[in-house]
Amino acid sequence: MNNFLQKLKTSMYRFSYGRHGSDQFSKFLLYGGLGLFFIYAITGIRILYTLSLVMLIYNCFRILSKNHTKRYQENQAYLFYKGKVTSRFALQKRMWNERKTHKFFKCSKCRTVVRVPKGRGKIEITCPKCHNTFVKKS
Distance CA 124, CA 138 (A): 10
Nearest to 21 by CA among 77, 55, 68: 68
Residue 104 bridge partners (DSSP): 115
- Indicate whether 35 and 80 sit together in one domain: yes
HSE-up (13 A, CA, CB side) for residue 53: 7
Q: For residue 4, is it within any domain?
A: no
Of the three residues 97, 112, 129, the one that is the final residue of a domain is: 97
pLDDT digits (tens, 9 = 90+) for 15-31: 878 888 889 999 999 99
Q: For residue 108, is it within any domain?
A: yes
Give the pTM.
0.69
Identify the pLDDT of residue 12.
Answer: 82
Note whether 22 and 60 are within 8 A (CB): no
Distance CA 35, CA 55 (A): 11
pLDDT digits (tens, 9 = 90+) for 84-130: 999 989 989 999 999 899 999 988 888 888 989 998 888 888 888 88
pLDDT digits (tens, 9 = 90+) for 4-19: 888 888 888 788 788 8
- Indicate whether 50 and 111 sit together in one domain: no
Q: What is the mean pLDDT of the chain?
A: 91
- Indicate whether 64 and 110 sit together in one domain: no
